[in-house]
Amino acid sequence: MKNYIAYKNVNGNKKNINKRSSYFYFKKSSLWKYIFIISSSILVLKILIKNKVLFLSSKKLLNGDKNYKSSDILNKSNIYNIKKENKFFFFEKNQDELNYCNNYGILIYDYFDGKEEYVEGNIGDYIQSLAALQYLPKNCKPYFIDRDAVRYYYGPKVKLIMNSWNHIIRPNTYISNHISPLFVSYHIDNDNKLPSMYVQNLKKYSPIGCRDNKTRDQLNNYGIKAYFSSCLTTTLDIDYAVDQSQRTNEIIFVDYELGKNTKEEKFFISLKSYNFSNITHIHHEYILESKTHIERFKLAKSLLVRYSKAKLVVSTRIHAALPCLALNTPVIFVNKKYDKRYPGLYELLNTIGINKENEFDIRVNIDNNGLVYNSKDYLKYANKLKDLLKNF
């Protein structure tokens, strides 16, 4: 009997329903064994028909080019998609058709938290994946792997950079044995006690590079070796930095509106070198059903190109602000409230807003010409990440 493994169903419930041929011995009568097997088979068949099961065949989406950069993902790279939207999947192990994979994966996001599927997504997640893609071999054919379903991946064995925001819930509490993960720029959103299985799994793959000090301290308290790695998006200059001659006069506000008669407005008005009467507004949220994963990567890439050429970016989104450090684009991070996700990252950015003491604070570097400039403190972490990942 072939061994098929479930990947994801239409309701978002991720269950491993690995069906192996089994032998059941009943003392009373072997007839019960056959009745049980037949009835179970009928039940499984009904489930498959009801959910319109598709046997997964990995489809080559784009033509390959050994010289492609991750920024060319949309028109040159070899991406093999092992997911289809809103269907119940089965993945056949050892399927010959999939042997062309170069054994690397890349994170994608379906936003399922075990209770509900979300309507909107955050394109910043795909910006993080583009950062990871820079470090894969140039002739690699990565597999798409859902961040919220790493336990349920049973495709070919792959290496996977785990640089993402995570909320750990049962039963998705460990990494599939088919994944060899590298934990860098990792964030845990949980405030409550972490599942013991998850803790043991992280110990197995330690040391864990953490995106923020809170996650580092949390893991250390569980006896897990962890360190502050900063965010991988601070290395996006590898594929996305542009020559300064391409710099425009565009001022971009990312998910931020300049309020009237506010302390923020007074500060920005004081920056006489900028024309804040002509602002481009960009939003990082999008409707999930409106975009495939490839289209989400395309949107993420287009935003990075835009940020790389801007005169100034002002953002409430951390994955607009941090990439701008790498892209050498002056950036100000607006902090509406002190966020537990960002200790360690705040210190790398120009910031305006509420600090840890719940006070309004402005920490922005301005040169003699009245222009905003970024601190270079991020480089000591970005360079370490590049060294760590260059032979991934």
Domain ranges of the chain: 55-234, 235-382
Q: What is the pLDDT at residue 359?
A: 86
Quickly name the fold that domain 55-234 has: Rossmann fold (3.40.50)
| Burial class for 198, CB neighbours closer than 10 Å (0-12, 13-18, 19+) | buried
pLDDT at 61: 28
Q: What is the pLDDT of residue 342?
A: 82
Query: Is the model's pLDDT at 155 over the cut of 60?
Result: yes
- Cβ neighbours of residue 343 under 8 Å, at least 6 residues apart? 212, 213, 214, 356
Identical topology for domains 55-234 and 235-382: yes
Consecutive H or E run containing 29: none
- pLDDT at 290 (0 to 100): 83
Is residue 83 scored above 60 in pLDDT? no
Task: State mean pLDDT over 213-234.
Answer: 95
Q: Which amino acid is at 111?
A: Y
Q: How far is CA 84 from the centre of its chain?
A: 18
Does the pLDDT value for residue 369 go beyond 90?
yes
Give the pLDDT band (50/70/90) at residue 101: low
Q: Token pair of 116, please?
A: 């509900």
Considering only the top CATH level, what class is 235-382?
A: alpha beta
For residue 22, what pLDDT is reported? 37
What percent of the chain has pLDDT above 90? 48
Q: Which of 46-50, 87-91, 231-235, 380-384 has the lowest mean pLDDT?
A: 87-91
Most confident segment among 16-30, 45-59, 355-369, 374-388: 374-388
Interval 313-337 mean pLDDT? 95
Query: Which residues fall within 8 angstroms of residue 137, CB to CB, at 6 or more apart?
Result: 102, 104
User: In terms of pLDDT, which residue wins out, 25 or 324?
Assistant: 324
Check: CB of residue 371 under 8 Å from CB of residue 275.
no
The per-residue pLDDT for 4 is 29
- Comparing 226 with 40, the larger pLDDT belongs to 226
pLDDT tens, position by position, 161-204: 999 988 776 666 788 999 999 999 999 988 778 888 889 989 99
> What does the pLDDT read at residue 55?
28
The torsion region of residue 121 among left (phi > 0), alpha (psi -120 to 50) and beta comes to beta
pLDDT (average), residues 282-309: 93
Question: How does pLDDT run across 269-291, given as a tens digit for each residue?
Answer: 999 999 988 899 999 999 888 88
With H, G, I as helix, E, B as strand and everything else as coil, classify residue 281: strand
